[in-house]
Amino acid sequence: MGGNHTWITEVTLLGFQVSPALELFLFGLFCLFYTLTLLGNGVILGLICLDSRLHTPMYFFLSHLAIVDMSYASNNVPKMLANLVKLKRTISFVPCIMQTFLYLAFAHIECLILVAMSYDRFVAICHPLHYTVIMNWRICTVLASTSWVFSFLLALVHLILILRLPFCGPHEINHFFCEILSVLKLLACADTRLNQVVIFAACVFILVGPVCLVLVSYSRILFAILRIQSGEGRRKAFSTCSSHLCVVGLFFGSAIVMYMAPKSHHPEEQQKILSLFYSLFNPMLNPLIYSLRNAEVKGALRRALCDTSGKWLVWGST
């Protein structure tokens, strides 16, 4: 940045402006949630890798979702936890911008992976005889890799649009991480209309578009499930689809409220809670939803536990 542009070295993350006692409580609570996020998604990822019965397109996309959730939480939560127990709550400018970039990239990836998962369920239930032909491994790999590449490119566009402007506002971010709307407030003297337009256009493409596709897919799926004669087949279809719908509703619902509802309806403290919901709570709940509502995942977990206990018994007897 040259000319009249201002280069800043660090910014202050105001975080949760609460009493010290409540900060310690939040530190313990969020530490627990973060640990559960890493443990739960790690278990899901491990089961999918180790159990050959889960080597299907649905669980291929679920493994990507687990990786994204762990990365998403790890990008935001550690700095938030550190600031809860530190007096100096600053973050260097470059790590702050990288946090914004990675946060956007992982959020975009999750949206697109959830759409790919809904398409997979649509093909599996509405076109079961052609499932292996349509959802072959080449198509799955292309869908997943395209989601990652496109998401990082879109996040890079946001980053370039931010860095072209002077950082002339207050060097404080009223948030617990460098969330993009809060970072834009550092550009107080600059015209950020282009940034706002691009953010809104990205929300339409990444949030509204996928939600519409998911709703269309599941409306077709619902009609197909109701036509299934077998009670066992209907139960299995409802089990896998309901778990996916729970994840879709939690993630897209909180993100749409955060980024597409009128900002006057959401004061800054409420925005922090919404951000917590999709950056910490959702990644923690996803593996719980899939393990509790999915018979195949529960079966894989039981087999893994039985194999482990059997190996321990053999080792102990020797």
Domain span at residue 200 reads 11-262+272-298
Q: Give residue 22's identity as a one-letter amino acid code.
A: L
What is the domain count for the chain? 1
Model pLDDT, residue 4 = 44
**What sign for the dihedral angle of Cα 291, 292, 294, 299?**
positive
| Chain segment 225-237, per-residue pLDDT in tens | 777 766 666 776 6
Q: Give residue 131's identity as a one-letter amino acid code.
A: Y
Long-range contacts made by residues 190-193, C-beta under 8 angstroms, separation at least 24? 190/165, 190/166, 191/165, 192/165
Answer whether residue 58 shows pLDDT above 60.
Answer: yes
Query: What is the pLDDT averaged over residues 161-183?
Result: 85
Structural contact between residues 64 and 113, judged by C-beta atoms closer than 8 angstroms: yes
The helix (H) or strand (E) run that includes residue 200 is helix 193-203
Residue 149 belongs to a domain with what CATH number? 1.20.1070.10
**Residue 78 is assigned to a structural domain of this protein:** yes
Least confident of 106-115, 182-191, 304-313: 304-313
**Residue 4 is assigned to a structural domain of this protein:** no
**Residue 303 is assigned to a structural domain of this protein:** no
**Residue 318 is assigned to a structural domain of this protein:** no
* Angstrom distance (rounded) from CA 270 to CA 31: 21
Confidence of residue 3 (pLDDT cuts 50, 70, 90): very low
Query: What is the pLDDT averaged over residues 45-66?
Result: 90
Query: What is the pLDDT averaged over residues 79-90?
Result: 87
Give the bridge partners for 12, in sequence order. 90, 172
At residue 283, the 3 state secondary structure works out as: helix
**Residue 306 is assigned to a structural domain of this protein:** no
**Residue 277 is assigned to a structural domain of this protein:** yes
Confidence of residue 2 (pLDDT cuts 50, 70, 90): very low
**Residue 182 is assigned to a structural domain of this protein:** yes
Structural contact between residues 33 and 76, judged by C-beta atoms closer than 8 angstroms: no
* Angstrom distance (rounded) from CA 153 to CA 163: 15
Model pLDDT, residue 225 = 77
**Residue 74 is assigned to a structural domain of this protein:** yes
Answer whether residue 150 shows pLDDT above 60.
Answer: yes
Average pLDDT, rounded, for the chain = 83
